[in-house]
Each structure stands twice: as structure tokens, then as C-alpha cells.
């Protein structure tokens, strides 16, 4: 426990969770105190202030005086250490309520948008509470001189993020196959004395293990991410995995020479099996490669894409722009209802995959272009398109992108967001261009985490 500030002990109910972090919101007699950790909304706690800031403070729980009625037992043995899930100890209905309130607060406080006259639609629950993720990136590290494979620890305002990796045997939000994969990979690597890469010292070899799984097809991809070097008998680990999991369809070796703590691909080697796995969404088949952007919750994505098709006010004569299209899942989902679709994405691999996905599904009215949205839209005639669908990364839209998008003066825009903060900022910019919210619906594609997907329908207001 961190050393408390003298005479700063207090008793408070936890009234909220400050997303996207796992910080419980309490209050002493002077200011709001955020408490990192596993407190739950509705807990009454004895706590102390540890670190003061201007206008607020950070604290720690000394004891839970009265547990919340919303508390539940977390099923994962790694909960509380892992930086992934923050809500496994909270009833799911309360998770949805907190996320929805966070979305509404962000739109009002960051976006400056009055939504009091807009009825936010009920949040769509994930079809699966656990085992929903189709992609995981595990990290290699060292613990007391021993190689470990797992997840990085939670960040804390009390200490510098050390990027410490703690070992895992399973990941409940990913796949039941996790324990088999981890066991085989670790046996192979520890027997050969490979060392984990150290971000601070820039030494070592092993970096990450990337695993992708088709939730509706069962296909499995495993990719070992290392620095440049050699693994003479790597086929052996592939054979062991294939024997244990016959659905293993693709095995890669990825080289990452960048110093950053992220899966950055410098060189891709498709060693065994196919170069891709396949996933099926709403009757369409999609090829997925190591670099492909694809919604991490396959069955939740089916609900989201069905809602997009329902909300989009398009006709067989409509020409649609799909911006930040990834591998084209949204574009292919509406292609048979419109005349044409143009998808734009900055990553050439996504564009190449989108073209292949069109071929696989026999879709001929989609075109895809690689490049930054801000650059490509300079060359696209504004008169040619009547509808725009946006699905940007977590950073949202740039002001320049908003200006180019608004030049088209389309009657309606559909915005798919994975970040309430940047969505709210962008709504402020779109409101300045006379676009107004017509419908808004949260989709919980990330149960037990602080993340939320949101679908917003905006219409151009006539002046």
C-alpha cells in the first residue's frame, strides 16, 4: 500500500467509474478522489488520499465497509493485475449503464452538444460475455530471470508504467485454446533459452505472440513476433500446435525492429499453412491476415453491421463513400443495396484484402483506394456520392478530414466510433457544418473493459 498523506483518511460511497480507466469516483469533504483498483460502484469504502492534484486527488481503499449490491465474483484468476478487463467484478447491466453515461457525458462536455432532446437508444449487449475477442496480442517478458508470456500490468497514477509482463494460462475474453497455445509455445522457447525483448535496454529477441481466431469458422492463426534473428527449428512448434489444434490454418513469423512497445510489422513470413484465415459475418466471408483491421468481436460486429444496413437511407441508385474502411466489412455489407461503394483506407494491406474479399463474395460494385482520407478525397468528385459512412481509428477524424467530408454536403452521415472522447470532439466539428444527430446507439463490443462502440446517424440541417 502506498504511503498515505497524513490526516487524509475518509469514508465515501463509490458513485461512478472514471472511464476509460478503472478509477472509482469518491469524494472527501473537499474534493473528488479517484481510486485506481477494483472498487465497484455502490461500495462504501474507507480510503485515504495518496496524491493531490489541482482540483482533485488520487487515493487508495483501506477497507470495503459495505460491498456494493452490484458486485460479482470475477471468474478470471488474472483479474486485478491484467491491464485488459476492469469490470469482471461488476454486474453486466451496471457495466452498460456506466458506459452509456460516459458516452452521454462525453458528448455534452467534450462535444458541447445538447442531446437532451435526443433519445439515446438502449445499448446493444455483446452476444458473448466471454470468449468474444477474435484477436489477442500477448507479450513476452521476464520474471525473476525466467521467460514469461502474458499480458502487461495495469497502469497506475502512483508509479511509472514499467511494462511488466505477468504470465497467464488462459484469457477468458479470447479463447479456450489459449492455454494450449501458450503451453506449446513456452515449452518450445524455454527449452532453447530465448530471451524476451527489453524495451528500455533494447536487448533480447522475443516480443509478442499474435493470435487470431474466426469465431464463426473456427480458423486459427498464430504469429510469433521477434526481433531479427534466427529460429532454426521453428517448424517443430508449428507441428506441435497443428497436432494439438487441427484448426490451425496459418502460422507466421513476424520481424519487428522498432523500439516501441507495439506489434509493428517490418517483415512478414508466412511459414506454414495458408496466408490467411477466414471469418464469416452475416453470410459474407472475409479473409483475415496478420495486419488486417477487423472488428475484434465478430458476433457483435454482425449486430453493428445489420444496424448500419437498417439505418442507412440508401437506394439502389446510391453511391456510397466508406472512409477508413479497413478490410471492407461495412462496405461489402451494404454493397448489394446500392449502386456503388468506394472505400478508402491508409493501409495498403487493408485495401488489398478488401479487394480479395469482394472476389470471395462475388461483389463487383465496390472499389477501394489506398491513401489518407484527406489526400484521396481531393481527387474524388463531390457530386458523385450521396452517402458517407465513417469508421475511423481511436484517434478519430482530423479537422482537415472533416472539412473534406463536409464538402460533399451529403444528406446523411453514419459515424461508427470506438472512442467516445474523439467521437464527441468530431461531433462538435460536424455540428459547426450543420450536421445534427438523428439517432445514437451504443454497442458493447468489449464486455468487462472500459471500451465502447457507438453508431451515430447525422443529417444535414437545411439553413
Q: What is the pLDDT of residue 5?
A: 61
CA neighbor of 212 nearest in space, from 140, 296, 154, 313: 296
Distance CA 431, CA 437 (A): 9
**Catalytic residue list:** 418
* Number of residues that make up the chain: 463
pLDDT, tens digit, 9 for 90 and up, residues 285-327: 999 999 999 999 999 999 999 999 999 999 999 999 999 999 9
Residue ranges in the chain whose pLDDT is less than 70: 1-7, 161, 463
In CATH, the architecture of 9-66 is: Beta Barrel (2.40)
Q: What is the pLDDT of residue 286?
A: 98
What is the distance in angstroms between the CA of the first residue and the CA of the last residue of the chain? 59
Angle at the Cα of 427 from the Cα atoms of 425 and 431, rounded to 5 degrees: 125
295 marked among binding-site residues: yes
In 3-state terms the chain splits into helix, strand, coil percentages (rounded to 5) of: 25, 35, 45
Distance CA 19, CA 22 (A): 6
Question: Which parts of 228-367 fold into alpha helices (H)?
Answer: 234-244, 298-311, 329-335, 348-361
Distance CA 388, CA 313 (A): 11
Q: What is the pLDDT of residue 153?
A: 81
Same fold, 104-126+282-460 and 135-276: no
| Assigned CATH for 104-126+282-460 | 3.40.50.150
Distance CA 322, CA 373 (A): 10
Q: What is the pLDDT of residue 460?
A: 94
391 marked among binding-site residues: yes
345 marked among binding-site residues: yes
| Residue 112 backbone zone (phi > 0: left; psi -120 to 50: alpha; other: beta) | left
Name every residue whose Cβ is closer than 8 Å to that of residue 167 and which is 6 or more positions away in sequence: 143, 148, 149, 150
Cell of 313: 437511407
Q: Which CATH class is domain 135-276?
A: mainly beta
Cell of 1: 500500500
pLDDT, tens digit, 9 for 90 and up, residues 88-100: 999 999 999 999 9
| Residue 120 backbone zone (phi > 0: left; psi -120 to 50: alpha; other: beta) | beta
255 neighbors 226 (Cβ within 8 angstroms): yes
Domain ranges for the chain, please list them. Answer: 9-66, 104-126+282-460, 135-276
Amino acid at each position: 500500500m502506498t504511503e498515505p498523506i497524513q490526516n487524509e483518511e475518509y469514508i465515501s460511497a463509490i458513485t461512478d467509474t472514471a472511464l476509460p480507466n478503472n478509477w472509482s469516483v469518491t469524494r472527501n469533504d473537499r474534493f473528488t478522489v479517484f481510486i485506481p483498483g477494483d472498487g465497484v460502484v455502490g461500495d462504501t469504502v474507507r480510503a485515504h488520499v495518496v496524491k493531490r492534484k489541482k482540483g482533485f486527488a488520487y487515493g487508495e481503499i483501506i477497507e470495503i465497509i459495505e460491498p456494493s449490491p452490484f458486485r460479482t465474483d470475477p471468474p478470471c484468476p488474472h483479474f486485478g493485475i491484467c491491464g485488459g478487463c476492469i469490470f469482471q467484478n461488476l454486474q453486466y447491466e451496471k457495466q452498460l449503464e456506466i458506459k452509456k453515461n460516459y458516452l452521454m457525458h462525453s458528448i455534452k462536455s467534450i462535444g458541447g452538444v445538447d442531446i437532451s432532446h435526443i433519445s439515446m437508444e438502449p445499448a446493444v449487449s455483446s452476444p458473448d460475455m466471454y470468449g468474444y475477442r477474435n484477436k489477442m496480442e500477448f507479450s513476452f517478458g521476464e520474471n525473476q530471470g525466467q521467460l514469461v508470456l502474458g499480458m502487461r500490468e495495469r497502469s497506475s497514477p502512483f508509479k511509472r508504467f514499467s511494462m511488466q509482463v505477468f504470465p497467464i494460462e488462459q484469457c477468458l475474453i479470447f479463447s479456450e485454446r489459449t492455454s494450449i497455445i501458450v503451453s506449446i509455445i513456452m515449452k518450445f522457447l524455454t527449452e532453447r533459452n530465448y530471451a524476451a525483448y527489453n524495451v528500455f535496454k533494447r536487448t533480447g529477441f522475443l516480443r509478442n505472440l499474435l493470435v487470431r481466431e474466426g469465431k464463426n469458422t473456427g480458423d486459427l492463426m498464430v504469429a510469433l513476433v521477434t526481433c531479427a534473428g534466427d529460429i532454426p527449428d521453428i517448424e517443430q512448434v508449428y507441428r506441435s500446435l497443428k497436432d494439438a489444434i487441427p484448426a490451425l490454418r496459418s502460422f507466421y513469423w513476424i520481424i519487428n525492429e522498432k523500439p516501441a512497445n507495439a506489434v509493428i510489422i517490418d517483415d512478414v513470413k508466412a511459414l506454414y499453412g495458408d496466408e490467411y484465415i477466414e471469418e464469416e459475418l452475416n453470410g459474407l466471408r472475409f479473409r483475415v491476415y496478420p495486419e488486417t483491421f477487423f472488428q475484434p468481436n465478430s458476433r457483435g460486429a454482425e449486430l453493428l453491421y445489420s444496424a448500419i444496413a437498417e439505418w442507412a437511407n440508401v437506394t439502389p441508385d446510391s453511391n456510397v463513400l466508406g472512409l477508413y474502411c479497413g478490410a471492407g466489412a461495412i462496405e461489402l455489407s451494404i454493397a448489394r443495396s446500392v449502386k456503388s461503394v468506394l472505400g478508402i483506407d491508409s493501409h495498403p494491406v487493408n485495401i488489398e484484402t478488401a479487394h480479395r474479399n469482394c472476389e470471395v463474395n462475388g461483389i463487383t460494385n465496390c472499389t477501394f483506394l489506398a491513401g489518407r482520407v484527406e489526400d484521396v478525397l481531393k481527387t474524388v468528385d463531390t457530386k458523385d456520392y450521396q452517402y458517407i459512412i465513417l469508421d475511423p481509428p481511436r484517434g478519430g477524424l482530423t479537422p482537415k478530414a472533416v472539412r473534406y467530408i463536409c464538402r460533399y454536403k451529403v444528406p446523411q452521415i453514419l459515424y461508427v466510433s470506438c472512442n467516445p472522447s474523439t467521437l464527441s470532439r468530431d461531433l462538435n466539428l460536424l455540428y459547426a457544418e450543420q450536421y445534427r444527430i438523428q439517432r445514437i446507439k451504443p454497442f458493447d463490443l468489449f464486455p468487462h473493459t472500459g471500451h465502447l462502440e457507438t453508431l451515430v446517424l447525422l443529417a444535414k440541417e437545411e439553413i
